[in-house]
């Protein structure tokens, strides 16, 4: 036992140092996040971070973002690696949500069960969108918070289990806001347009807007597109008009939000969330 004592003291000392160092970083991370929720935090400078063993983007100012998908059970296992190589782990609880069943009828049948002749086209269009979502810019356009792209009744919520024309389909990937055809759609935050095309088979007039760090908004079913891929837009700038193109039953704006490939709930974003 005596032989072990110095070693034990050494371990205690190291632990004290590690607790001191980690307190600042870990206190910046929330203890829990809702399914579909986004986390934005600031880490001490030069700290590296990983989520479930995979490196995540840490900005030069220590900004880090990540999200919990709709079906994420958690906890999210975050590792922080400090400049001196010392490592700390944080477990963030994921709060489960209820996903009500939503029945949508009167959808154009050719968009619910597309004919085999358009399978290639749909695959190509979806691949382009997936590629655009992989962009990882240093821009921090998301830090100013978000505004509603249009004001109106929420006619479809993120994550709801959907039964379309009587057939079970994938959960709803975004938030639908019902507005009259032709209502101007505003950029909820600044960013760069990474995709802007009028006639996508399922999503109709489609815009992707990249806010940096893998965060992107998508707007579907638009009747007009006023921006081009590569264009910089400011928060509140009009990017197109609401419509009902593609798989839609009436005029509305579908606003989807992604952290890379992970779909998040726009209703939980800073500036959008109801207190």
Binding site for Zn ion (CB under 5 A): 156, 176, 254
Which residue in this structure is represented by tokens 């479809």? 156
Q: What are phi and psi of 185, to 5 degrees?
A: -105, 125
What are the backbone angles phi and psi of residue 211, rounded to the nearest 5°?
Answer: -100, 5
Smallest distance from the beta carbon of 65 to Zn ion, in angstroms?
A: 24
Pick between residue 63 and residue 111 the one whose CB is nearest to Zn ion. 111
Q: Which is nearer to Zn ion, 86 or 169 (CB)?
A: 169
Q: Sign of dihedral through CA atoms 250, 253, 259, 264?
A: negative
Q: Could you count the other beta carbons within 10 Å of the beta carbon of residue 64? A: 23
Residue 264: CB minimum distance to Zn ion, A:
14
Q: How far is the CB of 142 from Zn ion (least distance, A)?
A: 22
In the complex with Zn ion, the residue whose CB is nearer, 211 or 263, is 263
| Structural contact between residues 92 and 29, judged by C-beta atoms closer than 8 angstroms | yes
CB of 173 to Zn ion, least distance (A): 7
CB of 172 vs Zn ion, minimal distance in Å: 6
Residue with nearest beta carbon to Zn ion:
254
* DSSP notation for 17-86: HHHHHHHHHHHTS-SEEETT-EEEEE--TT-EEEETTEEE-B-TTSEEEEE--TT--S-EEEEEE-TTS-
**Parallel, antiparallel or unpaired: strands 101-104 and 161-164:** parallel
Nearest to Zn ion of 156, 198 (CB atom): 156
If the CB atoms of residues 176 and 210 are measured against Zn ion, the closer one turns out to be 176
Q: In terms of CB distance, is 141 or 176 closer to Zn ion?
A: 176
Q: Rounded to the nearest whole angstrom, what is the least distance from the CB of residue 122 to Zn ion in the complex?
A: 17
What is the DSSP secondary-structure string of 126-179?
HHHHHHHHT---S--GGGG----SS-SEEEE-TT-EEEETTEEEPPP-EEEEE-
């Amino acid at each position: 036992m005596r032989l072990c004592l110095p070693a034990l003291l050494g371990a205690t000392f190291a632990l004290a140092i590690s607790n001191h160092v980690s307190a600042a970083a870990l206190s910046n991370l929330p203890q829990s996040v809702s399914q579909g929720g986004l986390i934005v935090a600031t880490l001490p400078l030069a700290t590296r971070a990983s989520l479930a063993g995979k490196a995540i983007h840490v900005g030069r100012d220590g900004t880090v973002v990540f999200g919990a998908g709709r079906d994420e059970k958690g906890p999210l296992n975050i590792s922080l690696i400090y400049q001196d190589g010392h490592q700390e782990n944080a477990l963030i609880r994921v709060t489960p949500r209820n996903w009500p069943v939503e029945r949508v009828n009167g959808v154009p049948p050719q968009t619910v069960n597309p004919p085999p002749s358009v399978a290639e086209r749909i695959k190509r269009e979806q691949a382009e969108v997936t590629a655009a979502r992989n962009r990882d810019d240093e821009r921090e356009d998301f830090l100013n918070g978000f505004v509603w792209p249009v004001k109106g009744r929420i006619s479809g919520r993120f994550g709801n289990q959907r039964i379309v024309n009587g057939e079970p389909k994938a959960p709803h990937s975004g938030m639908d806001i019902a507005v009259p055809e032709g209502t101007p759609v505003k950029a909820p935050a600044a960013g760069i347009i990474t995709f802007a095309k009028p006639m996508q088979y399922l999503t109709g007039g489609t815009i992707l807007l990249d806010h940096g760090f893998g965060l992107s908004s998508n707007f579907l079913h638009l009747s007009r597109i006023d921006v081009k891929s590569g264009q910089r837009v400011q928060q509140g700038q009009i990017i197109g008009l609401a419509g009902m193109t593609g798989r839609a039953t009436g005029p509305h704006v579908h606003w989807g939000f992604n952290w890379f490939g992970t779909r998040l709930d726009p209703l939980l974003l800073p500036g959008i969330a109801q207190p």
